Amino acid sequence: MNITDIDLLNDWHALNYQHKIIGRWVRTAQILPLIKELSPFFVVNKIGESFLKKDIYKISFGKGERKILIWTQMHGNESTGTKALFDLFKFFETNAIKNSLVTDILKECTIVCIPMLNPDGAEAYTRVNAEEIDLNRDVIDKKAMESTILQDILTEENPEYCFNLHDQRTIFSVGKENKPATMSFLAPSVDKERTITKGRIQTMKVIMAMNSGLQNYIPGHIGRYTDEFYPTATGDNFQKMGHNTILIESGHFKDDYQREKTRKYTFLSLFIGIQSILNPSSSDNIDPYFEIPCNAKNYLDIIVKRVSFQGKKVDIGILYEEKIIKSKLQFLAKLEKIKNLSKYNANKLIENPNLTFSSKKELKKWINTEFN
């Protein structure tokens, strides 16, 4: 895709994103009305139920032979991909006739989506499902019924490509300036040796296209997730089974705690990725993939610089803990680090050399009073 096409996508999203679904705590109650409103352009099927009997849906569109599978909220508290997916639905439906990029995709591809694989975890705002199983580590044992549902769809559809959508914590950073990792990508490994297979090369090429397109908007905010092989992870095993799997990790952008800016970059990533599958680069040079900086963990929500603590000058690092309190998602500031944080960056930097604390208890009390 050229920059003009991506600019048009960006402009469209600013005015036309699916505004009926916003915020971080996205549950069945938010997406079910939108699913029911979908036009006959989409094929909607209930494909099963969660442990607590919440419906799980498959939404398909396009008429092509090439299958692409996308799923979101495998972890219930990771909702950015779900918002971006409904933005994608709206874009495809409203541009199905007038946009040649869209018509080509619809002709050549069938896109199969599971928006919210873990509705019980979404309701409770937890990573795990109602049985406290991490679905992203359940691909071998399939203890959770939600894991079985996903793998049944994989077998039924036999997708050439998969997009596995997650959210990453604020702690992840990119580059020497330790900017927040707003988007991170990964072509999962198929073994502990991290062998570069033909499938991984194809996956890397999709990621290279997504990275190239997004660099015009969030330069320095795109990272590469660790490709350590996890024997029980979904993406690693799907890749090993021959389904080229792209991991998308949506992260933090400055002051964007509801991930409303990040949803746009996730939406752009999905469309650029799908389009690159249809029109792949003829070169198998994967150097640009490895030139994407690896993620680090050098970002915090708040850093208070040069505080006197027990007679020494130190920096205070604070992270937010996300909790549901009285049916509302709240961000609670918690003490994370007491040390020299010169190699770290944060959403908010506070220079305050006049603060003095004699104990952690006193410091935690101040944090609670100042930020909660």
264 and 316 part of one domain: no
Neighbours of 327 (CB within 10 A): 6
Per-residue pLDDT, 220: 96
Output the six-digit token pair for 172. 């992840």
- Sign, CA dihedral 284-228-322-52, equals positive
197 and 306 part of one domain: no
63 and 196 part of one domain: yes
Q: What is the value of pTM for the model shown?
A: 0.97
20 and 37 part of one domain: yes
Per-residue pLDDT, 98: 80
60 and 78 part of one domain: yes
Per-residue pLDDT, 99: 83
- How distant, in Å, are the alpha carbons of 48, 84, 91, 108 from that of 56? 5, 18, 23, 26
310 and 281 part of one domain: no
320: β partners:
333
Q: Which of 100, 85, 79 is nearest to 28 (CA)?
A: 79
45 and 176 part of one domain: yes
Total tally of structural domains belonging to the chain: 2
Per-residue pLDDT, 4: 76
Query: Which residue range forms the structural domain that includes residue 275?
Result: 3-290
Cβ proximity of 25 and 324 under 8 Å: yes
CATH number, domain at 270?
A: 3.40.630.10
Per-residue pLDDT, 352: 79
128 and 197 part of one domain: yes
241 and 265 part of one domain: yes
284 and 329 part of one domain: no
CB burial of residue 353 (10 Å; 0-12, 13-18, 19+):
exposed
Percent of the chain whose pLDDT exceeds 70: 100
> Domain boundary at 247, 265, 290, which?
290
Using 50 as the pLDDT threshold, list the residues of the chain that sit under it: none
273 and 321 part of one domain: no
94 and 169 part of one domain: yes
